[in-house]
Chains A and B, each alone.
Chain A
Amino acid sequence: MTSVRAGNRLRAKVWRRTRLREARWPGVPVTSSGDTGYHIDMRLPTAREREYLKDLVVVLTQKEIQLRYKNSWLGYVWSVANPLMFAILYFVAFKTFMRIDIPRYSLFLIAGLFPWQWFANSISAAPNIFLGNATLLKKVRFPRNALVTPTVLNDGIHFLCSIPVLVLFLFVYGSRPAWSWLIGIPLLAVGQFLLLYGFALTIASLNLFFRDLERLTTLVVTFLFFLTPVVYSESMVPAQYRAIVYLNPAAPIILSWRNLFLVGDLNWPLIAAGFAHAGVILAVGAAVYRKLCWKFAEVV
Chain B
Amino acid sequence: MIAIRFEHVSKSYPRYGHLLAGLKFSLLRFSETFRAFKRDRFMALNDVSFEVKPGESLGLIGPNGSGKSTTLALIAGVLRPQVGNIEIRGRVSPLLELGAGFHPELTGRENIFLNGILLGLTRREILSKQDEIIAFSELEPFLDQPVRTYSSGMVARLGFSVAAHLDPEILLIDEVLSVGDLKFQAKCRQKLDDFKRRQVTIVLVSHSLGEVRGFCSRVVWLKSGQIVADGAPDAVVPLYEKAMA
Contacts and interface: CB of A to CB of B under 8 A. Distances in A.
B76 interface: yes
A30 B96 contact: no
A209 B119 CA distance: 25
Contact of B77 (A33, A60, A216): A33
B28 interface: no
Nearest to A210: B23
Interface string B164-186: 00000000001000000000000
Contact of A294 (B80, B114, B121): B80
Given A136-B101, A210-B23, A36 B77 contact: yes
Nearest to A52: B122
Interface SS of chain B:
mixed
Contact of A59 (B5, B87, B114): B114
Contacts, number: 133
Interface in A71-115: 71
Classify chain B: how many residues form its interface, as a range: 35 or more
Given A35-B77, A139-B94, A212-B24, A28 B84 contact: yes
B73 A139 contact: yes
Nearest to B77: A36
Interface SS of chain A:
helix
Contacts of A37: 77
B105 interface: yes
Nearest 5 A/B pairs, CB to CB:
A36-B77, A135-B100, A33-B86, A297-B78, A141-B77
Interface of B: 5, 8, 10, 13-14, 16, 19-20, 22-24, 26, 47, 73-74, 76-89, 92, 94, 96-97, 100-101, 103, 105-106, 110, 113-114, 117-124, 146, 174
Interface of A: 1, 15, 19, 22-23, 25, 28-38, 48, 51-52, 55-56, 58-60, 63, 66-67, 70-71, 135-142, 209-213, 216, 294, 296-299
14 contacts: A25-B47, A28-B10, A31-B84, A31-B85, A34-B86, A35-B87, A59-B114, A67-B105, A139-B78, A140-B78, A140-B96, A209-B16, A296-B78, A297-B79
